[in-house]
């Protein structure tokens, strides 16, 4: 039997995203959400999460395209000195990372601060992941896992799309397919580091390839083809309102599409829906 985590990213981004997360969880179409520690609607998301203990909540560590929890002057390589914010795109972040311009100590310190902010508000975090899947890079993964372990978190997202999922995902543009295929070369190192650090994870993430194009047809195709193992469906539901437009996210109309697709989710009795907290139940 396949096991599936239905996870929503960007919890806390806007009130409309928060509303979608709670609606979908109550409808049985979400089991988990990844919460941003410093976003426009983080405070509301924390209150909603505390009032909804059945929803698994992890820390969506933001290291790209956002504001740090720590003071910018304490993160000289991690933030853009002109803005005091993180570097705006994953490509800029990666270029600086590979030439050694971003210090792992700053990544770890900021991850520690983001996790602590959520835990101090009373949240029992089930897992760790990162905005734009930055932890797929080994130089980011190790400091993020160190921060998570120090906070008692032992589950992490496997951000890599499996081959079977890529073959049944329709509508993703070719450039997205090329990026996902290329980045999958990092998966062996990811699995090795996760094992060395003593973390649990899934067999892979589905929906990453379909980010921006995830609709009801694609969701149904993924679930119909879900093999044995433990998987995560990565989603970005929300309401396309004025707050979302001001958030400068590339996912605008697609958030409505994903919300509607999840609300129309078919029930597959052979799939067990779980959260990251359940990963430990199988060791």
State pLDDT tens for residues 167-181.
899 888 888 899 888
State pLDDT tens for residues 32-66.
999 999 999 999 999 999 999 999 999 999 999 99
Contacts of 52 (CB under 8 A, 6+ apart): 22, 25
State pLDDT tens for residues 223-282.
999 999 999 999 999 988 766 656 555 555 678 889 999 988 877 778 999 999 999 754
State pLDDT tens for residues 192-231.
999 999 999 999 999 999 988 899 999 999 999 999 999 9
The tokens of 265 are what? Answer: 């989710």
Q: Where are the domains of the chain?
A: 2-282
pLDDT given at position 282: 44
The tokens of 249 are what? Answer: 């996210």
The CATH number for 2-282, chosen from 3.20.20.370, 3.60.110.10, 3.60.15.10, 3.60.20.10, is 3.20.20.370
pLDDT given at position 247: 53
Query: What pTM was computed for the model?
Result: 0.94
- Tell me the C-alpha to C-alpha distance, in Å, between residue 1 and each of 70, 86, 204, 252, 269: 43, 41, 15, 35, 10
d(CA 145, CA 158): 12
Q: Count the helices and strands in the chain (H runs, E runs).
A: 11, 9
């Amino acid at each position: 039997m396949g096991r599936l985590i239905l996870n929503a990213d960007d919890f806390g981004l806007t009130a409309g995203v928060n509303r979608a997360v709670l609606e979908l969880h109550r409808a049985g179409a979400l089991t988990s959400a990844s919460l941003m520690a410093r976003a426009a609607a983080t405070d509301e998301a924390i209150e909603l999460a505390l009032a909804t203990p059945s929803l698994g909540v992890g820390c969506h560590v933001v290291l790209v395209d956002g504001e740090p929890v720590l003071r910018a002057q304490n993160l000289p390589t991690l933030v853009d000195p002109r803005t005091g914010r993180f570097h705006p795109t994953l490509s800029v972040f990666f270029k600086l990372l590979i030439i050694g311009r971003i210090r792992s100590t700053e990544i770890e310190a900021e991850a520690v601060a983001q996790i602590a902010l959520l835990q101090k508000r009373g949240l029992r975090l089930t897992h760790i992941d990162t905005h734009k899947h930055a932890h797929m890079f080994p130089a980011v993964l190790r400091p993020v896992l160190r921060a998570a372990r120090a906070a008692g978190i032992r589950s992490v997202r496997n951000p890599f799309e499996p081959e079977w999922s890529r073959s049944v995902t329709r509508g993703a543009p070719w450039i997205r397919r090329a990026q996902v295929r290329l980045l999958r070369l990092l998966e062996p190192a990811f699995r090795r580091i996760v094992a060395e650090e003593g973390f649990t994870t899934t067999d892979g993430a589905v929906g990453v390839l379909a980010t921006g194009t995830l609709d009801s047809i694609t969701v149904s195709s993924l679930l119909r083809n879900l093999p044995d193992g433990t998987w995560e469906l990565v989603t970005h539901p929300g309401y396309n309102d004025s707050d979302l437009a001001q958030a400068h996210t590339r996912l605008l109309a697609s958030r409505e599409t994903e919300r509607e697709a999840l609300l129309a989710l078919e029930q597959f009795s052979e799939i067990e829906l779980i959260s990251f907290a359940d990963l430990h139940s199988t060791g």
